[in-house]
Each structure stands twice: as structure tokens, then as C-alpha cells.
Chains A and B, each alone.
Chain A
Amino acid sequence: DQQVKQNSPSLSVQEGRISILNCDYTNSMFDYFLWYKKYPAEGPTFLISISSIKDKNEDGRFTVFLNKSAKHLSLHIVPSQPGDSAVYFCAARKLSGGSNYKLTFGKGTLLTVNP
């Protein structure tokens, strides 16, 4: 059962335009959401996160929006740059017994920003 879904395996945008990456989840127990970026031959790196009590978090060119009623979050990159080309993973956190947390990842979306 895929609790975190990234339905678009790939996305292609022009440099300078907006990139919108989407993520849906099914488990209402998730309390924190994160986006990671992964370049080939490297491990994922943390990009931005949002708590379930907020609906927006912004960090420079990156903004994450959360719609809890729709169980949907999105990552906006404005303006997109060729260096943003990577696989983006959406991840969700929930308690897994006691004070332990577990991350559940989506399958990732490959973003290609064309010069």
C-alpha cells in the first residue's frame, strides 16, 4: 500500500519558469512532510519541510504547500534553474511506537529543467 504517492514520474520545464511537483498521501497520522533532492550517484539531500499544522513554508526559491483536507502537498520552484534537475522525493513522517518516528517516501519525480 503506497501511503505517499508521487504520480508524475517525470516533469520537464523551461529555465526561469515555475516547477510544480505534487505529492499525495493517504495516512492522516503523518505529522510532518519533507522534500529531498537526489542527484545521480549521490544520496538524497534535505530540501524543505512543513509541519502538518501549517499550510505553507517558503525557503528562497522553494515553497511547499500543504492541503490537509485533500491530503496533498506540492513543491514549487521559482524560478527553475538547470541545476535543479534531479529526482525529488516527497516523504512523510509519523510516530512509530513511543517517541520513534519513521519516514515513508514516495517513488520520486525526475525534474528536468531545460536551458
Chain B
Amino acid sequence: KAGVTQTPRYLIKTRGQQVTLSCSPISGHRSVSWYQQTPGQGLQFLFEYFSETQRNKGNFPGRFSGRQFSNSRSEMNVSTLELGDSALYLCASSLESRGFETQYFGPGTRLLVL
């Protein structure tokens, strides 16, 4: 079974631009969560989607948004990029939204904002 895939793996943007990151969960998984990892803050929860609906949201500004498609693939969008948005963005999928033990992470997208 293929794992969680994230595209692109690396991205360089400039301040003010917007970016869209993509995540393809493991086949059959309906829950997709997004996390931001920075050296100073560790792993921070962004949001979770389950069956195309946002189920949970972390404490991030409205510039961070996401969506999930009927095939469970998910995208997250960051508008008006700031230098502080430079981070590793991780996507994780699970069969259902309670199974954190069986939450599988992708390799992440490393975003650098200049």
C-alpha cells in the first residue's frame, strides 16, 4: 500500500505570495490532518479534514486554509506569505479521526519564504 505523499517536497516563495500544498492520503483513509513544524515551536496542528469537512482547527490565522476532495486528497493554502511561514508542513492520514495511533505522516513539504 502506498504511503502518504506530499507535493511539492520543496518550495521557495517570496513574501506576499500565496502557496498551495497537496497531500494524497493512504488509500481508504478518510481523515487528513495538517501540521506545521518549526524549530522554535515544534509540531503545531493546523486543521483536520474528514469526509470533505473540516473537523478541527488549530490556532492559526485565516491566511491558512484547506480543503478535502471527494477522493480524500487534501490541499492547504497559505495566502500573503510571511517570513515566519517558513517551515516543514506535514500531512497525516488515518482511517478515521480518532485513530491517532494509526496516523501516518507524509515526508512533508519544506517551504522557504524569502
Contacts and interface: CB of A to CB of B under 8 A. Distances in A.
A56 interface: no
A43 B106 contact: yes
Interface string B75-114: 0000000000000001010000110111111111000000
19 contacts: A34-B101, A43-B104, A43-B107, A44-B90, A45-B104, A46-B100, A46-B101, A46-B102, A49-B101, A89-B42, A91-B43, A97-B56, A100-B97, A101-B97, A101-B100, A102-B58, A103-B100, A105-B42, A105-B44
Interface residues of B, number: 26
A71 B35 CA distance: 25
B76 to A, nearest CB: 15
Interface residues of A, number: 25
Contacts of B41: 107
Contacts of B56: 96-97, 100-102
Contacts of A103: 33, 45, 100
Q: Closest 7 A-B residue pairs measured CB to CB?
A: A43-B105, A107-B42, A105-B43, A100-B55, A44-B105, A102-B56, A43-B106
Contacts of B48: 100, 102
A89 B4 contact: no
B42 to A, nearest CB: 3
